[in-house]
Amino acid sequence: MAQRTPSGALRDRRGRSASGTRLWTWLMLPGTLWMTGFLIASLILVATLALGTTDPLGNPRFGFNFANIAAMADPAYRIVLLRSLGFALIACAVCLVVAYPVAYTIALHGGRFKNLLIAAIVVPFFANYLVRMYGWSVVLSDGGPVLKALRAVGLADAHTKILQSGVGVIAGLVYGFIVFMIIPLYAALERMDLSLIEAGRDLYGGPLRTFFFVTLPATRQGAAAGAVLVFLPAMGDFVSAQLMGGPNQIMIGNLIQDKFFQGQNWPLGSALTMLMMAVLFIGMLGYLRRTRKDEAEAAR
């Protein structure tokens, strides 16, 4: 239903005009072309180079062979991949367990300090990642305050170490990315209808039962979003394993870094990158299916 407005532009039913659509398309174009040219093209390049080879000097050559892909089945790589998956998943779980009480306390008991407290969590995460990780490694070091405190209460002895172990790497990932868990959880708890908790109590649910049967299910989507937001960067991280772990705790990010810098085998590095993307893609699919199911249930 075209109709003429006083300004003379023709508009269809939803108020769009041909000239408007043209302007919006032109506005959209530079950014989209830029991202396609740099990002999408470069990702395709990585996928293509994964099928390439290196010449005897180590220079990458494009090709069409699956040697690099087949190499991914090598037990050495499989161990690193499984370790990365394990570290990232444990980091997600630890983030959830720590972030939930924090988000809960702030959302429900923060009162007028709510925004201030959330800002106090967000602001440090804009500080330089390396500086934060370095400070964290000092705190967790053998003579650092955390181990001293643990020794004082008898939870650690003189030989306990956090750095140079898997625990150190996971601690690094948690410190690095926990904000991505707190924010969606906080948002979910803020949105939650608090009378649900009250209803749970009115129905004689104890605090724990109310929490597990009312609060937790109501904020499941926030937890799932947080898990994805932590899992993505944790899988790709290589700084934590380098600073907090030893040579026996390397993650797939370290392998990729090594193939592109020290090892100079770009095709193999590209194949490893694709492998990581594949794992993340599967994780994302799982998340999307989960949320779709939740939405379908909510719609019913």
Three-state DSSP class for residue 4:
strand
Which residues inside 62-101 make contact with another protein, applying CB under 8 A? 98, 101
Q: Which is nearer to another protein, 115 or 248 (CB)?
A: 115
Q: Which residue has the tokens 């209803």?
A: 199
Which residues inside 158-177 make contact with another protein, applying CB under 8 A? 175
- Are 270 and 47 in contact by the 8 Å Cβ rule? The answer is yes
Quick check: 9 binds another protein (CB under 8 A)? yes
Which residues inside 257-276 make contact with another protein, applying CB under 8 A? 257, 260, 266, 269-270, 273, 276
Task: Residue 172: name the closest of 91, 232, 80 by CA.
Answer: 91
Q: Which is nearer to another protein, 132 or 161 (CB)?
A: 132
Crossing angle between the packed helical segments 75-109 and 166-177, to the nearest 10 degrees: 50
Separation of alpha carbons 170 and 176, rounded Å: 10
Task: Residue 222: name the closest of 99, 126, 118, 140 by CA.
Answer: 99
Amino acid type, 132: R
Shortest distance (Å) from residue 300 CB to another protein: 25
Identify any residues that bridge with 60 across adjacent strands, giving them in sequence order.
54
Q: Which is nearer to another protein, 38 or 66 (CB)?
A: 38
Q: Which is nearer to another protein, 23 or 70 (CB)?
A: 23
Which residues inside 10-49 make contact with another protein, applying CB under 8 A? 14-17, 19-21, 23-32, 34-36, 38-43, 45-46, 49
Q: Which residue has the tokens 């302007």?
A: 23
Token digits of residue 145: 């305050």
Q: Which is nearer to another protein, 77 or 260 (CB)?
A: 260
Q: Which is nearer to another protein, 260 or 300 (CB)?
A: 260
The residue within the footprint of another protein, chosen from 1, 13, 73, 126 (CB under 8 A), is 126
Shortest distance (Å) from residue 164 CB to another protein: 15
Crossing angle between the packed helical segments 41-49 and 266-299, to the nearest 10 degrees: 120
Q: Show Cβ contacts of residue 195 under 8 Å, excluding neighbours closer than 6 positions.
A: none
Shortest distance (Å) from residue 10 CB to another protein: 13
Quick check: 109 binds another protein (CB under 8 A)? yes
Shortest distance (Å) from residue 42 CB to another protein: 4
Separation of alpha carbons 16 and 31, rounded Å: 22
Shortest distance (Å) from residue 85 CB to another protein: 14
Three-state DSSP class for residue 248:
helix
Q: Which stretch binds another protein (CB under 8 A): 7-15, 66-74, 79-87, 291-299?
A: 7-15
The residue within the footprint of another protein, chosen from 69, 70, 122, 285 (CB under 8 A), is 122
Residues that contact another protein, how many (by CB under 8 A) = 99
| Per-residue x/- track, 129-148, another protein (CB under 8 A) | xxxxxxxx-xx-x-xxxx--
Shortest distance (Å) from residue 283 CB to another protein: 10
Separation of alpha carbons 60 and 80, rounded Å: 24
Q: Which is nearer to another protein, 45 or 67 (CB)?
A: 45
Which residues inside 186-225 make contact with another protein, applying CB under 8 A? 186-187, 190, 194-195, 197-198, 207
Q: In which element (H, E) is residue 60 found?
A: strand 60-61
| Residue spans of alpha helices (H) in 11-128 | 18-35, 41-49, 67-71, 75-109, 114-122
